[in-house]
């Protein structure tokens, strides 16, 4: 769904109606989200339903934006008592921490017809691994425009001739994902190497690409 002036107006009204800007008296001033900000990564981060980010209710997210936009390296508390903080922000991409073991990336992809939001969750342990959820401009689940890489895509040219050996030595592949809305890509970087001790690393790893770039 493309963001239009009508949708922007509806989002602004919804934000006011839901009380997103309601603050405790001892809390910092809220980052003001207006129609001018609609479509940005910060806008979608602030407007996300609580069920999408259950550890980070709306007021906590607004605090996180306030601190970041004012140059304050001050963490907020998530619902589990862990630390949460925005770590980077650009027009269409925002990264944030949601605890000691989990980080997120929110990326906004726009086309003449649609707006898609990619929410990438990366769990660091036992080795970093990402999963991606896709949403439309109203935060409704959307069909993924690109699929996670298959083993065939991970295999190098030589590796494709040794597929059975790779499957036997490496039963699964973990990877981190990062999005680039400007290039319309999602890049997966393999992390399965850290699953093995250096002395036990299978030779089959040499037949896997270090990364796979999915473009759409």
pLDDT tens sequence for the chain (216 residues): 444 333 433 444 344 333 333 333 333 334 445 555 678 999 999 999 999 999 999 999 999 999 999 999 999 999 998 999 999 999 999 999 998 889 999 999 997 888 999 999 999 988 999 999 999 999 999 999 999 999 999 999 999 999 999 999 999 999 999 999 999 999 999 999 999 999 999 999 999 999 999 998
Measured CA distances, 44 to 52, 105, 164 (Å): 11, 12, 44
With residue 68 as reference, give the H or E element that holds it.
helix 58-69
Q: Is the Cβ–Cβ distance between 110 and 117 less than 8 Å? A: no
Q: Is the Cβ–Cβ distance between 186 and 146 less than 8 Å? A: yes
pTM: 0.83
Which neighbouring-strand residues pair with 155? 208
Closest CA to 204 of 190, 216, 215, 184: 190
Q: What is the pLDDT of residue 11?
A: 44
Q: What is the pLDDT of residue 45?
A: 96
Q: What is the pLDDT of residue 36?
A: 59
Other Cβ atoms closer than 10 A to 10:
12
Burial-class residue 203 by CB neighbours within 10 Å (0-12, 13-18, 19+). Answer: exposed
Q: What is the pLDDT of residue 34?
A: 57
Provide the CB-side half-sphere exposure for 160 (13 A, CA).
6
Question: Cα torsion at 145, 190, 94, 84 (round to 10°)?
Answer: 130
User: What is the spatial distance between Cα 34 and Cα 12, in angstroms, rounded to a whole number?
Assistant: 7
Q: Could you tell me the two tokens for 131?
A: 């999963």
Q: Is the Cβ–Cβ distance between 15 and 33 less than 8 Å? A: yes
B/e letters for 36-73, b = 16+ CB within 10 Å, e = fewer, are: ebbbbbbbbbbbbeeeebebbebbbbbbbbbbbeeeee
């Amino acid at each position: 769904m493309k963001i239009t002036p009508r949708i922007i107006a509806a989002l602004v009204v919804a934000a006011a109606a839901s009380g997103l800007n309601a603050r405790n008296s001892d809390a910092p001033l809220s980052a003001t989200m207006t129609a001018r900000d609609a479509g940005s990564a910060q806008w979608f981060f602030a407007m996300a339903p609580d069920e999408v980010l259950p550890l980070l209710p709306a007021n906590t997210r607004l605090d996180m934006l306030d601190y970041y936009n004012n140059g304050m390296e001050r963490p907020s508390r998530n619902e589990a008592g862990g630390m949460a903080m925005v770590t980077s922000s650009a027009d269409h991409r925002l990264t944030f921490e949601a605890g000691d073991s989990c980080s997120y990336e929110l990326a906004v992809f726009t086309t003449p017809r649609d707006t898609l939001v990619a929410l990438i969750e990366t769990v660091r342990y036992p080795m970093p691994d990402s999963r991606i959820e896709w949403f439309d401009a109203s935060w409704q689940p959307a069909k993924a425009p690109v699929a996670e890489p298959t083993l065939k895509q991970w295999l190098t040219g030589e590796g494709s001739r040794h597929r059975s050996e790779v499957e036997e030595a490496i039963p699964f592949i973990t990877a981190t994902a990062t999005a680039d809305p400007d290039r319309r890509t999602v890049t997966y970087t393999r992390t399965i190497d850290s699953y093995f001790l250096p002395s036990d690393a299978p030779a089959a790893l040499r037949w896997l690409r270090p990364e796979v770039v999915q473009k759409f």
